[in-house]
Chain A
Amino acid sequence: MNNIIASTVVKARELTAEEIKEIEHEKTHYPYTQAVGLEALKIVQKYQGWVSDESLLAVAKYLEIAPDELEGVATFFNMIFRRPVGKHVILLCDSVACWMLGCDSLQGHITKNLGIEYGETTKDDMFTLLPVPCLGACDKSPVMMIGRETYTHLTAEKIDQAIAHYRDGTPVDQDLE
């Protein structure tokens, strides 16, 4: 970072106290701050929903990593969102076991109900639908995640229930998870 002329038009956002606290905690895990880059992006994403240019620059400055290097890492990983996403991200597994058990038609169902294709966000910014590689629950296919929750043995009804839950707090049947 030392060597940068720093001629960027984007202005860094102020990191929040929570973000800084968590980043500082991560720093104690590694002998080099570079290793904290991805962790810090995840922390920022946890609080902000996604990683904006302003956030990326803030992390770069905070950790003294070149923003170009951080961008290279941010765009490499599937789960760092460099564009805004909805409040809840639906990750529908589209790998082979779930494909065999019909994830394509489940996607069709979501698309029909929410009006979004893979990569799109609902107009009310509530949901973004993304495909995700094998979620490691192939014995319970088809599978999806919303936020940090995993939903298995999916059916169209179960998906509707989960979506309703995230939309207005409707309780989800116990066996959904």
Chain B
Amino acid sequence: MVKITVDGKVLEVDENNNLLEEVLSQGEDLPYFCWHPSMGSVGSCRQCAVIEYANDEDERGRLNMACMTSPREGGRYSIEKAGQFRAQAIESIMINHPHDCPVCEEGGECHLQDMTVMSGHTYRRYEGKKKTHTNQYLGPFINHEMNRCITCYRCVRYYNDYAGGTDFGPQASHDNTYFGRWQEGPLESEFSGNLAEVCPTGVFTDKPFGKQYVRKWDLQTAPSICTGCSVGCNTNPGERYGTLRRVVNRFNDEVNGYFLCDRGRFGTGYVNSDERITVSMTRASSDADPHLASPDEAMSQLHVMAVDAIGIGSPRASMEANFALRDLVGKDNFYAGVSANDLAMGQQILDIYRNRPVNVASIKVIEGSDAVIVLGEDVTNTAARIALALRQSVKNLGKKMARDMKLPDWHDAAVRQLTMDRKSPLFILSPHATRLDDVAANVHISSAEESARIGFAIANAIDSSAPAVKGLSKEEKSLVDTMADALKNAQQPLVVCGTGSFSPALIDAAANIATALQDGDKKANLAMVVPEANSLGLALLMNGSDQSLDQAMSLVADGDAKSAVVLENDLYRRAPADAVDSFVNALDNLAVLDSTQTRTGEAANLVIAAGTFAESSGTFINYEARAQHFYSVFKPKDSIRASVKWLSDQKLSEITAACASSITDCGGMANLTPGEDFNVAGMKVPRQQHRYSGRTAMRADINVHEPKQEQDEDGILSYSMEGVPATRDATVFNTAWSGGWNSNQSVFKFQSHTGGALKQASHGQCLIENNSKTKTWNEIEKDNAPEGDFAVFPLYHLFGSEELTARTPAIQEKATSAYIALNGDDAQKLGLQASDGVALEHNGSVPFIIRSSIKPGTVGVPVGLEGVNFRNLPDGIALEKASSWTAPEKWHAANIIASDRASSEGEA
């Protein structure tokens, strides 16, 4: 720390950071454009100018960019004295700007507007014509309006340098510089949506939001958790007129930081979908005609049925909803709504987190890792935010090189220049090429079983007390040694694995590597990806019980249960279709609570209209066993209720508390919210902004009486404008907004240090504390080699594999229907032509693509895509050319990595 003076004020600041970051951290206002806390400085926009004085006598000083300045002990600076320069900079930046704020989606939350006001530029002196540009079509997510560009280069610095995108860039030069793709077309990065938040003006905006646009202040917002995968990114969704309009990032320094993936940002359109179940329906038997059930009727039928029913929980429902169902049917009658293998893997992971000498890695920790091995988990498609974090981890070598040269690591361009293509090691073992291969030191294509063997061998190479692996080839041995050495020599090694390969052996292998890396107090980091938002929560909730969906099905098959209540779960995604068919047919009563219609729901005789995440509150447990609370964003119509409201008449906080006290390791759930009695001066925290407009007129076309504000019985937020905005406690940080800072950049005002934790913390609570120092090992279990000609491995799609987001129109534009992927030689052997289909056992016929990375004798089958049920397939299958076949309309080869294309054969 050093002491500096800024306009006479003495500040103590960190000399390792740049002056801009430090000055902002002290609460000062200093405008900037090109700088971003997670992307460092390049000094191009010249907006953060300050005067730096050489010594006490110096009266003129010299102009410097704060973002490019290392504060020095005793340094004297002035923000005020550079004010005229900053005003000039804004004035010239604005000469070509269209001043179209009234029709611009950014208006009202525009960093450019804020900075213009802050810099004091009000009167336009430039009288020439403005430059105009042609815009590009950039796909379903992002809108392009180049005329608003101020050439701050943030978009490329984010999209290319930070997120690793390659299909975007700056073009031309001087005042004609253009940012876009070389040919128009959909942006390929899975993280393109962050452009809308990174761009300080309205060049890149949220396209689906633009189609149902309202101003920031007209949105009702609440802190939420993304349900797209098990990472649990923090979000602030916004609603108006009963429809969910958009999702923006909610800063959490340990989890998502500033960025979301596109599934999370753009995947919530299903909340407004026509497929929503808006009323409960009932029928006497499964072949009778359904009729509408009033909420009261539905409620009483459900509770009557539940008396002797089994309950089937869900990894996509909250802890509270699952717990309430468990309570309703009785603990012994509660089954996790996932297969025995899935449940076992969840519990296996919990066991590792609890007992192995490892740290569970948050996204922040992943970003800080300096050697990583990824075992069989295609994180870009199963837990995308982790992939973005891994892309940052490979940059740590460069930062270290910079530090060794006394170059500050915020000096972004210089650090990149120094580093060139050197990277911290990232090793990937996978049955196919992945989107992270471009930053990987080594990609080894191998089946889950082979990867597990190699994983076990790596553990053994690091710590010889780990079980050894016999029969490795010479190449495998040298690969093992390379990886073992790199991991062993790292300061912060990380192992990433998960359930994506459906391989318990792989998970064991990952645990062994992480265990082997433990050395005294130095523990390795481990991240285990699980499939859904609350998968790990569900595993916790089972509390050691092995009551899986398989068990529920055999119970019913044996005639030991006649009724079932299914919570937010489409069983056809969990088990083979014929097994589910027998299950539902054998039941007398089937109640399904869900927000959208599913095949399971179609078989039910009571379908109950459940709220989505946006209309519910509760707790999700992410892949790290981090419990995070989400608040309902808006109150649905009375016929729709949060599942937990249907299942229980207890207050949410009571259910949370009961869950916390009765389930092992869940104690931390009790402290996630400030408590129901939280208020400031007797008032709750408003979900609506003080500037929320038109409240009295919003419904005037229906009724001139202003309706009573909806009440929220559950918590500390109110569905109204009244109240005291959440500045005191960041766990209810439902919008980033501060005086003079109307854009999301204002988040620094809520952080204890710019770019760092929120002042009152909103980390959630990691439930599993692990102080173990005992190394225990898993033994290698040999899987039986799959029968059939082709060993099947799963393929995941960020857009399409997840059930709910796949019902969102913008996601559907990016998604594809089912297909299989195989090696070119195999295709040839099967006599396949590009336009042929392949008959897939139990699944009908699908198109195919050739991916050169795939090994002969293996076939990739997508999980969760329309037109295929992965659960129908055994581990090994036969394939044959389909007779008389035409490709389905929604089929297109999505997400094929260029390097993975053997030829144009098989492309549709």
Instruction: Check whether chain A touches chain B (CB < 8 angstroms).
Output: yes
* A residues with CB within 8 A of B: 1-10, 32, 53, 56, 66-72, 75-76
**Could you list some 22 contacts between A and B, CB below 8 A?**
A2-B897, A2-B899, A3-B164, A3-B166, A3-B435, A5-B188, A5-B896, A5-B898, A6-B896, A6-B898, A7-B186, A7-B188, A8-B185, A66-B166, A66-B169, A68-B166, A68-B181, A71-B171, A75-B173, A75-B178, A76-B171, A76-B173
Which residues of B are found within 8 Å of A10, using beta-carbon distances? 183
CB pair A67–B188 under 8 Å, yes or no, is no
**Chain B: which residue is nearest A69 at the CB level?**
B169
Mark each residue of chain B from 584 to 620: 1 if its CB lies under 8 Å from any CB of chain A, else 0.
Answer: 0000000000000000000000000000000000000
Which residues of A are found within 8 Å of B186, using beta-carbon distances? 7
B786 at the binding interface (Cβ < 8 Å):
no
**How near does chain B come to A65, taking the closest CB pair, in angstroms?**
9
Known: A2-B437, A6-B898. A75 touches B171 (CB 8 A): yes
Which residues of A are found within 8 Å of B164, using beta-carbon distances? 3
Cα of A2 to Cα of B897 in the assembled complex, Å: 7
Known: A7-B188, A8-B183. A2 touches B438 (CB 8 A): yes
Cα of A76 to Cα of B177 in the assembled complex, Å: 9
20 extra A-B contacts, CB within 8 A, seeds A8-B182, A66-B166, A75-B171 = A1-B166, A1-B899, A2-B437, A2-B897, A2-B898, A2-B899, A5-B895, A5-B897, A6-B898, A7-B185, A7-B186, A7-B188, A32-B420, A32-B421, A66-B167, A68-B166, A68-B167, A68-B182, A76-B172, A76-B173
CB pair A71–B169 under 8 Å, yes or no, is yes
Mark each residue of chain B from 878 to 896: 1 if its CB lies under 8 Å from any CB of chain A, else 0.
Answer: 0000000000000000011
CB pair A4–B173 under 8 Å, yes or no, is no
Which residues of A are found within 8 Å of B188, using beta-carbon distances? 4-5, 7
**How near does chain A come to B138, taking the closest CB pair, in angstroms?**
12
Interface centre among B172, B183, B899 (most CB of A within 10 A): B183
CB pair A5–B167 under 8 Å, yes or no, is yes
CB pair B169–A53 under 8 Å, yes or no, is no
Cα of A66 to Cα of B164 in the assembled complex, Å: 12
B855 at the binding interface (Cβ < 8 Å):
no
Grouping DSSP codes into helix (H, G, I), strand (E, B) and loop, the A interface class, with mixed when no group exceeds half, is loop
Cα of A70 to Cα of B901 in the assembled complex, Å: 21
**How near does chain B come to A166, taking the closest CB pair, in angstroms?**
30
Within 8 A of A (CB), among B404-422: 420-421
**Chain A: which residue is nearest B183 at the CB level?**
A8
Within 8 A of A (CB), among B179-205: 181-183, 185-186, 188
Contact of A3 among B182, B183, B438 (CB under 8 A): B438
Cα of A70 to Cα of B171 in the assembled complex, Å: 9
**How near does chain A come to B799, taking the closest CB pair, in angstroms?**
12
Within 8 A of A (CB), among B147-185: 164-173, 178, 181-183, 185
**Chain A: which residue is nearest B420 at the CB level?**
A32
**Chain B: which residue is nearest A4 at the CB level?**
B898
Cα of A9 to Cα of B136 in the assembled complex, Å: 14
Cα of A4 to Cα of B169 in the assembled complex, Å: 13
CB pair A4–B185 under 8 Å, yes or no, is no
Which residues of A are found within 8 Å of B438, using beta-carbon distances? 2-3
**How near does chain B come to A32, taking the closest CB pair, in angstroms?**
7
**How near does chain A come to B481, taking the closest CB pair, in angstroms?**
25
Which residues of A are found within 8 Å of B170, using beta-carbon distances? 72
**Chain B: which residue is nearest A67 at the CB level?**
B182
Which residues of B are found within 8 Å of A70, using beta-carbon distances? 182
**How near does chain B come to A53, taking the closest CB pair, in angstroms?**
7
Cα of A4 to Cα of B896 in the assembled complex, Å: 8
Which residues of B are found within 8 Å of A67, using beta-carbon distances? 182-183
**How near does chain A come to B151, taking the closest CB pair, in angstroms?**
14
CB pair A1–B898 under 8 Å, yes or no, is yes
**Chain A: which residue is nearest B898 at the CB level?**
A6
Which residues of B are found within 8 Å of A8, using beta-carbon distances? 182-183, 185
Mark each residue of chain B from 192 to 234: 1 if its CB lies under 8 Å from any CB of chain A, else 0.
Answer: 0000000000000000000000000000000000000000000
The list of the 5 closest CB pairs from A to B, nearest first, reads: A71-B182, A6-B898, A66-B166, A2-B438, A3-B438
CB pair A4–B897 under 8 Å, yes or no, is yes
